[in-house]
């Protein structure tokens, strides 16, 4: 390894400048949907000649296409300018999302439309090798599908429950998983398919999916908060995903909301996810529902969906449980808002199914307590993918690398 620091800024040579400029054009088209060449020059600050060169190359590669002129928003004078957009028939990104129960595989075009989906259930899988075999078989299936459609696949993105080791490209040792332990998934997939492969934790991947294809397209600073078995977040600041030294920049589920609180397997006490994670809420419901006049007291082992269903029927106990949940989440989300200063906090993963009960109330309570109150309101909104983020966060990781100019066609 070089004795010189890798943190020093590097100079730009012609090819890095070209990639960076192409990236500006792609990001602009992705955020605005359609734009003329004149619009692109204005938005990116590039010369018209540069825009012509870049868009000509992207048109040849089938990444973008020309749409009917006169589609609004044009910057031309006199005549309707030709509008450009990311092509429906663009090359594809493959990706998959891994949680404790299943792997979900999707092939998307660069507009974020899903063109094929497959699922791998993990319950019956006993070993890491069998897990990898299952993954390889489904990647193979999706790549064959792309080949039949005569579509190029530019790489593979993997969104996995953490912790993951970004440097080694490994799924490290997620708690409560007998199979997922020290799996060198990036090397194995690269070796087999000879394609660019990118791995990140599922919350970071979700934030990128929200930014590229969801409700965060035109936002500069936002947080994606996913509540499922655990609680995690992905933070986008200044339009870039915040990674930190090891990719753990937003492990907000382990913010302590009670220093004398419940112990957490992470070693800390009073962690947010020990109160507001889905298993914690189910446990809380089982404690409070017994002996009460409630739809829930009839259910032997209350699950999250039972709580939400009962709340929809105006069950007072279920509504009180969701109110407790909102209280715990508020404590964590005020800390998140104070730490990152986002314009919006998106709510996603399983919590999204109770979005209509919690989103407005969270926004109200957070804004009573956040440091920035009186200057700008922190918005709380449902993720554009609600509780189905797993359909897109894997391939979005790869699409992001392409849009950033780190992966070529």
Minimum gap (Å) between residue 271 Cβ and Zn ion: 3
Please choose, out of 113-121, 166-174, 249-257, 368-376, the segment that lies near Zn ion by the rule CB under 5 A: 249-257
Pick the closer one to Zn ion by CB: 27 or 273.
273
Beta-carbon contacts of residue 174 (< 8 Å; ≥ 6 apart): 100, 160, 161, 162, 163, 180
Question: Which H/E stretch holds residue 307?
Answer: helix 304-312
Interface with Zn ion, residue 279, by CB under 5 A: no
Interface with Zn ion, residue 257, by CB under 5 A: no
Of the residues 271, 317, 337, 380, which one makes contact with Zn ion according to CB under 5 A: 271
Pick the closer one to Zn ion by CB: 38 or 268.
268
Of the residues 268, 338, 381, 406, which one makes contact with Zn ion according to CB under 5 A: 268
Minimum gap (Å) between residue 204 Cβ and Zn ion: 18
Of the residues 22, 37, 151, 254, which one makes contact with Zn ion according to CB under 5 A: 254
Strand-pair partners of 94: 107, 156
Pick the closer one to Zn ion by CB: 274 or 349.
274
| DSSP tag of 230 | S
Minimum gap (Å) between residue 265 Cβ and Zn ion: 7
Interface with Zn ion, residue 180, by CB under 5 A: no
- For Zn ion (CB under 5 A), the number of binding residues is 5
Q: How far is CA 247 from CA 155, 182, 204, 234, 251, in A?
A: 21, 17, 8, 10, 9
Please choose, out of 200-208, 252-260, 331-339, 350-358, the segment that lies near Zn ion by the rule CB under 5 A: 252-260
Angle between helices 316-340 and 355-369 (to 10 degrees): 50
Of the residues 65, 237, 266, 335, which one makes contact with Zn ion according to CB under 5 A: 266
Pick the closer one to Zn ion by CB: 172 or 266.
266
Rounded to whole angstroms, the Cα distance separating 38 from 51 reads 8
Rounded to whole angstroms, the Cα distance separating 234 from 223 reads 6
Q: Give strand ranges (E) for 68-160.
A: 83-86, 92-98, 102-109, 114-121, 153-160
| Tokens, residue 44 | 């990116």
Residues that bind Zn ion (CB under 5 A): 254, 264, 266, 268, 271
């Amino acid at each position: 390894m070089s004795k010189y620091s890798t943190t020093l800024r590097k100079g730009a040579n012609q090819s890095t400048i070209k990639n960076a400029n192409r990236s500006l054009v792609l990001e602009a088209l992705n955020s605005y949907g359609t734009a003329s060449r004149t619009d692109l020059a204005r938005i990116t600050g590039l010369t018209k000649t540069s825009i012509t060169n870049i868009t000509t190359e992207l048109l040849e590669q089938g990444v973008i296409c020309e749409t009917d002129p006169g589609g609004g928003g044009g910057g031309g004078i006199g005549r309707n300018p030709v509008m450009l957009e990311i092509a429906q028939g663009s090359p594809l990104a493959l990706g998959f999302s891994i949680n404790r129960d299943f792997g979900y595989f999707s092939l998307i075009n660069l507009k974020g439309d899903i063109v094929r989906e497959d699922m791998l259930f993990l319950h019956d899988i006993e070993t890491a090798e069998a897990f990898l075999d299952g993954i390889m078989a489904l990647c193979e299936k999706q790549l064959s599908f792309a080949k039949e459609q005569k579509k190029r696949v530019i790489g593979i993105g993997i969104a996995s429950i953490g912790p993951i080791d970004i440097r080694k490209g490994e799924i490290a040792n997620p708690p409560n998983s007998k199979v997922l332990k020290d799996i060198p998934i990036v090397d194995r997939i690269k070796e087999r398919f000879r394609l660019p492969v990118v791995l990140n934790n599922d919350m970071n991947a979700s934030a990128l999916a929200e930014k590229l294809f969801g409700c965060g397209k035109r936002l500069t600073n936002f947080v994606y908060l996913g509540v499922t078995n655990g609680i995690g977040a992905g933070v986008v600041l200044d339009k870039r995903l915040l990674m930190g030294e090891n990719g753990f920049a937003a492990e907000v589920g382990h913010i302590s909301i009670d220093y004398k609180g419940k112990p957490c397997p992470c070693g800390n006490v009073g962690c947010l996810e020990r109160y507001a994670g889905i298993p914690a809420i189910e446990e809380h419901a089982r404690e409070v529902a017994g002996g009460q006049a409630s739809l829930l007291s009839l259910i032997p082992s209350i699950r999250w969906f039972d709580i939400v269903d009962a709340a929809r029927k105006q069950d007072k106990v279920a509504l009180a449980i969701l109110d407790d949940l909102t209280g715990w989440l508020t404590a964590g989300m005020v800390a998140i808002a104070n730490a990152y200063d986002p314009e919006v906090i998106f709510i996603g993963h399983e919590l999204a199914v109770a979005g209509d009960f919690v989103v407005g109330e969270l926004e109200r309570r957070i804004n009573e307590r956040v440091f920035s109150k009186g200057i700008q309101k922190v918005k709380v909104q449902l993720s554009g993918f609600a509780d189905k983020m797993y359909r897109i966060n894997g391939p979005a990781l790869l699409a992001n690398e392409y849009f950033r100019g780190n992966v070529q066609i």
